[in-house]
Amino acid sequence: MQEKPIEQHLRDEIKKIGGAAYKLSAAVDAGMPDRLVCLPGGRVIFVETKRPKGGRLSPLQKYRHKALRLMGFDVRVINTTAAVTEFIKEVKAQGGDK
């Protein structure tokens, strides 16, 4: 499986719970996570999607993720559709749905 189906599944599942998963462009700022997930209630989570086998963070991505976390942002790396499902369950349990 490639990264794209995981990213699409994330986008679709976030939309079902009333949120949006905006695509961030590497052309604008290299190393940033793939998606900015905006949830009802004002919660924001940065999500990096990777393919299940062999998908690794680059040194620049690790740097950006660390910098975002130091500013207090939630940054996740998701590499399977099952992980998307678990992420959605977690978000819903924390009140991040409509």
pLDDT digits (tens, 9 = 90+) for 56-88: 999 999 999 999 999 999 999 999 999 999 999
Whether 21 maps to a domain, the answer reads: yes
Whether 42 maps to a domain, the answer reads: yes
Whether 79 maps to a domain, the answer reads: yes
Whether 35 maps to a domain, the answer reads: yes
Whether 11 maps to a domain, the answer reads: yes
Range of the domain at 72: 3-93
Structurally, how many domains does the chain consist of? 1
- CATH number of residue 67's parent domain: 3.40.1350.10
pTM of the model: 0.92
**Rounded mean pLDDT, 9-17:** 96
Tell how far CA 26 is from the center of its chain.
Answer: 14
pLDDT band at residue 33 under the 50/70/90 scheme: very high
Whether 98 maps to a domain, the answer reads: no
Question: Residues of 32-50 as b/e, b for ≥16 C-beta within 10 angstroms?
Answer: bbbbbbbbeeeeebbbbbb
